Amino acid sequence: MRNRQLFAVLAAVTVTLSACGINSIPTAEENAKAKWADVQSQYQRRADLIPNLVNTVRAAANQERTVLREVTEARASATRITVSGDQLTDPEAVARYAAAQNQLTLTLQRLQEAYPELQSNANFRDLQSQLEGTENRIAVARRDYNAAVQAYNTEIRTFPGVVGARVIYGSQPMAPFQAEEAAQRAPTVDFGNQQ
């Protein structure tokens, strides 16, 4: 009879302890911590990715700007030099005209060679897509973290988990992610004349 009473007491203690969050509280706490790590990971991804993307786009845009400036300058130079019918007997005038036209031809050839690589519009679209995707990842990570915090905080504040939270763990509620006041304004991406 004594064994049955001991078994009944152990069973009651086991049920009571399992019902008071002995396993669910640490599980919920670790889940919330893992979700916070995901938030930090997404912020780190943004911090690593965005400056590199911006520099890539800026470099491509600068390269294209250089090529297009050279074409414009060569065209302007070629149109400034003219040879009239009276100057056809002057070999130097004809040579200057030919040199200006050849310079324009060479510049246009460089433009044609570089054309497949001239992608600043595509690079800007890719950057915009990456920015949007990055911000979406961050939003999802923050939402998941807040859901995990809500589950943890609910577990430690409701019966029977509140018993285990206070008696066994001394658990405190976790803070959800909250945006700062400055987050109400959209960030700006600057492609100014920084070198």
Cα-to-chain-centroid distance, residue 72:
36
- What whole-number distance in Å separates Cα of residue 153 and Cα of residue 174? 7
* pTM of the entire predicted model: 0.59
- Per-residue pLDDT tens listing for the chain (195 residues): 677 776 666 666 665 555 556 788 888 999 999 999 998 888 888 888 888 877 877 777 777 777 777 777 777 777 777 777 777 778 888 788 788 777 777 776 666 665 555 566 677 778 778 888 888 898 899 999 999 999 999 988 888 888 877 777 788 888 888 877 776 676 676 666 544
Q: Which residues contact 64 (CB under 8 A, 6 or more apart)?
A: 114, 118, 120
